[in-house]
Homo-oligomer: A and B are copies of this chain.
Amino acid sequence: MNTEGLLAARMVRLKSSAIRELLKHSKMEGVISLAGGIPSSALFDFEGLAKATQIAITEQPEHAFQYGLTEGSHGLRSRIADLCKDRGIVATAEDIVVTAGSQQALDLVMRAVVDPEDVFVVERPTYLAALQTLELAEAHLLSVGSDGDGMKVDELAEILKTRKIKGVYLVPTFGNPSGVTLSLSRREQLVKLAAEHQFLIVEDDPYGELRFTDERLPTLFEISKTQYGHANNIIYTSTFSKILAPGLRLGWVIMPQWLLNKVAIIKQAADLHASSLSQTVAENYLALGRLDKQIETIRAAYKQKYNVLAELLERELGHVLTFEYPKGGMFLWARFREPRNCTEWMKKTLEQGVVFVPGEFFFSDNPDYSTFRISFATATEEQLHEAVARLKRAL
């Protein structure tokens, strides 16, 4: 590992330790946590999950408890391919590797494609744990800003005038932490740039199904297929964590064939394959036909929470805060109108009994300390009221 690699690794350690330390507070008695990016277990379809598990242990015990294929069971991959059709993604089981959550998809992909010093471009802000996988792979990170229309693709175009890049990582739909969605014109612009400059796009899509409106923008994968007849440089990852149950630790990645074999070989060395029990349960759950209704339930609940939160924030804190208006997902990204260090501020909010994630942790460089991320998925409406009141008292 070269010096920069060591520095990056140290940064990963520091960030993770700081975050881990901070998040300990969220477990404290009486503290309302708006911090964790975790879905609400009050909304889990425990009845359906129990049914799916029951079938696994009574009818498919060997499938559930014996070793399986590195790429994932063929049955589950076929079901995932079907599920992705609704997302405008034409893929077969053979294009898919089942992973331990989309987190593992990111780690495996970065290990497969990034050589040390390869340039990867991320959004500012971006998903913290994606930064960790990029830093472990010793990527050289560059960042571009984002606004209400998502990543500023024009800034990327500027970079491409002078730099050769390996890839772009982004959460284009209901982003984490920003909550914002990349506009259609920027999507098309990004896919065009990738085709022209031959770089990879890692399209991380954990939240795309959690929309609050009827609007569904095409995935980057879909745009590439439509415009160029292939998606050879698009790597699409998604997960069951936000639509079914994160404890299953099941995600997937759809890749071009040149990459798939490489990822499968690394996965084999990394953990052989994802939990057979989890895979069997997920496959059975999909076969029960309950997922669409479950997603509707989550959408309605998160939308309601978001509406309550946005109204409260505007009314109670609108004089000091601005924020974008997400159209889906689990996060709201707030910024103080006047500069304020939110990591410092959280000491005060903690005294009042409310925590969030300070924004600085989501930046690979040039952190905006005046920002913070609110997750509205787990708190009840009552808790959201109380949380905003506490934030106000901590001003």
Contacts and interface: CB of A to CB of B under 8 A. Distances in A.
Contacts of A56: 53
A301 to B, nearest CB: 16
A116 B50 CA distance: 46
Contact of A67 (B107, B132, B246, B269): B246
16 contacts: A12-B265, A13-B265, A46-B61, A49-B61, A53-B53, A54-B57, A65-B248, A66-B245, A68-B247, A101-B272, A107-B271, A129-B268, A129-B269, A132-B265, A247-B276, A249-B273
Interface in A239-277: 241, 245-249, 261-262, 265-266, 268-277
A129 B265 CA distance: 10
A115 interface: yes
Interface string A86-111: 00000000000001110110010001
A41 B65 contact: yes
Greatest chain B CB density within 10 A among A64, A241, A277 is at A277
A67 B271 CA distance: 19
A162 interface: no
A270 B107 contact: yes
Contact of A262 (B13, B44, B54, B269): B13
Interface string A4-18: 000000001100110
A125 to B, nearest CB: 18
Contact of A53 (B16, B57, B241, B248): B57
- Stoichiometry, copies per complex: 2
Contacts of A62: 41, 44
Contacts of A277: 53, 247-248, 275, 277-278, 281
Contacts of A64: 247
Contacts of A13: 261-262, 265
A247 B275 contact: yes
Interface in A32-80: 36, 38, 41, 44, 46, 49-50, 53-54, 56-58, 61-68
B272 A248 contact: no
B66 A246 contact: yes
Given A50-B57, A53-B57, A269 B41 contact: no
Nearest to A282: B277
Main secondary structure on A side of the interface with B: helix
A379 to B, nearest CB: 15
Interface residues of A, number: 60
Contact of A265 (B16, B115, B272): B16
Contacts of A58: 50
A129 to B, nearest CB: 6
Contact of A49 (B57, B63, B101, B266): B57
Interface in A275-308: 275-278, 281
A247 to B, nearest CB: 3
Given A41-B66, A249-B274, A274-B275, 18 more contacts: A1-B116, A13-B265, A36-B67, A41-B65, A46-B57, A49-B65, A50-B58, A53-B57, A64-B247, A100-B271, A100-B275, A107-B271, A111-B136, A129-B269, A132-B265, A249-B276, A271-B271, A277-B277
Given A1-B116, A57-B54, A61-B49, A270 B268 contact: no
Nearest to A245: B65
A129 B249 CA distance: 23
